Amino acid sequence: MLKEGNIRIPSGCAISGIIDKSGAVFSGQIIADSIATMHDRSNGLGGGFAAYGIYPDFKEHYAFHMFYDDAKAKQDTEDLLKANFVIAYEEKIPTRKTQSIKNAPLIHRYFVLPKLEVLNASEMNDEDFIVKFIFNVNKNIDGAYIFSSGKNMGVFKAVGYPEDVAEFYKLETYNGYMWTAHGRFPTNTPGWWGGAHPFNLLNISVVHNGELSSYDTNRKYLEEFGYSCTLMTDTEVAAYIFDLLLRKHKLPVTLAAKVIASPLWNQVERLSPKERELYYNLKIIYSKALLNGPFSIIVTYDNGFIAINDRIKLRPLTAASQGDMIYVASEESAIRRVCKNPDKVWIPKGGEPVIAEIEQQNISEIYDKKEVTA
């Protein structure tokens, strides 16, 4: 197989995201139906989903989803897992035979917590410990890849069209309060399982349509903070940038949006003195976190998502709402496939974020009690 960067294919890509702001959970079949509408925006070289609220029985554990090339990679990784974590439960991720999904790796999941004595010896908090462990496995164990690592959420991805990936992973059997989906048309790779979207780190996941010309600048900037970019894909840096801004630097989501899609200088000059000072500082401090190039992107985190375009809107993004439901997608047709009569439909301006979050209630209580099938 050709390596990332050795081949170039004109890009399309499709993205879709749905959240119920009340915290009610709904079937993964709904997001699968939405993304399937945009079949022609991808070419079968990658599809995937991120789902939140799907593991209520293990909501306090980190859920590691793993790809293994062979039994040796699995054994080496499990030896390392057992040395560092208490494993509450482990299993092969359930799949079904799907004609178009071929050459699947070994796919397993583990619900884990760091061993207290190991965590204390590391002098790190549990999230930093998890991140370091993920980078260690993905970089140093040949044939092993942790592709999902959050709490009460999971990423499911493969080489194939997204609707076939949903069939393969039996997503209709999962219920979550927030879902995103991606159909891939690779720009710089022939497509492989680890390179499919979403990209995830802890509870942050990213699906992306476009191409980030700022990749190398972003990558070098992230390496200053200990991140390790091993996949050679632009979307990977977007996931790590949001982890840095939201988790490490505690920026509000609204400001994180202005970092990655910063207003142009001539726009900043027209702002009030207070706003001008804020954006001057953001541009100076986070200049290397700016995402340049055409993109539309959906970033999911613990209790919501942000969807945003590049500053001059070179990639499509449409949003809609109906009651507590918020929808975003590359095309309006993908929204209307699952929401026939939305209350409101709008096309966000370039650099204008759509932010949708769970209402101020205890999510852990909500998704245990509510379910809709829409």
Give residue 40's pLDDT band: very low, low, confident or very high (50, 70, 90): confident
Q: Residue 46: what pLDDT?
A: 87
- How far is 65 from 183, CA to CA, in rounded Å? 20
Distances (CA, A) of 291 to 262, 327, 351: 9, 23, 11
The pLDDT of residue 372: 40
| 63 CB-contact burial (10 Å; exposed 0-12 / middle 13-18 / buried 19+) | buried
Residue 189: which pLDDT band, with cuts at 50, 70 and 90? low
Tens-place pLDDT, residues 3-37: 444 544 444 789 999 999 999 999 999 999 999 99
Q: Is the pLDDT of residue 74 over 80?
A: yes
Looking at residue 3, its pLDDT comes to 47
Active-site pick, 13, 36, 112, 339:
13
> 127 pLDDT band (50/70/90 cuts)?
very high
Q: Is the pLDDT of residue 366 over 50?
A: no
Out of 73-87, 222-236, 302-316, 354-368, the most confident range is: 73-87
Which domains, from first to last, does the chain contain?
11-373 (3.60.20.10)
- Residue 232: predicted pLDDT: 65
Residue 261 in contact with residue 308, Cβ under 8 Å?
A: yes
Count Cβ neighbours within 10 Å for each residue of 192-227 and write b for 16 or more, e otherwise.
bbbbbbbbbbbbbbbbbbbbbebbebbbebbeeeeb
**For residue range 328-351, what is the model confidence (pLDDT) as tens digits?**
999 999 999 999 999 999 999 999
CB 308 within 8 A of CB 354: yes
Look at strands 144-148 and 62-68 and give their pairing.
antiparallel
Q: How confident is the model at residue 187 (pLDDT cuts 50, 70, 90)?
A: low
User: What's the pLDDT at 222?
Assistant: 96
In this prediction, residue 211 carries a pLDDT of: 83
Q: Considering the chain, what percentage of its residues have pLDDT values greater than 90?
A: 79
Specify burial of residue 344 (Cβ count, 10 A radius: 0-12, 13-18, 19+): exposed
Place of tokens 């070419």: 43
Place of tokens 């449409």: 318
For 25, residues 6+ apart whose C-beta sits below 8 A from its C-beta are 53, 54, 175, 176, 177, 367, 370, 371, 372
Q: Is the pTM of the predicted complex or chain greater than 0.85?
A: yes
**274-286 residue pLDDT tens:** 999 999 999 999 9
Give mean pLDDT, residues 170-199. 87
Better-predicted residue by pLDDT, 187 or 157: 157
Residue 177 predicted with pLDDT over 50: yes
pLDDT at 270 over 50: yes
Q: In the prediction, which pLDDT does 191 show? A: 72
Confidence at residue 373, expressed as pLDDT on a 0 to 100 scale: 35
Instruction: Note the pLDDT of residue 190.
Output: 59
Tell me if residue 229 is catalytic: no
- The label of the residue with tokens 């829409």 reads 374
Mean per-residue pLDDT for 82-86?
98
- Say how far apart CA 186 and CA 351 lie, in whole Å: 24
What is the average pLDDT value for the chain, to the nearest integer? 91
pLDDT, average across residues 31-53: 92
Q: So what's the pLDDT on residue 174?
A: 98
Per-residue pLDDT tens over the stretch 287-316: 999 999 999 999 999 999 999 999 999 999
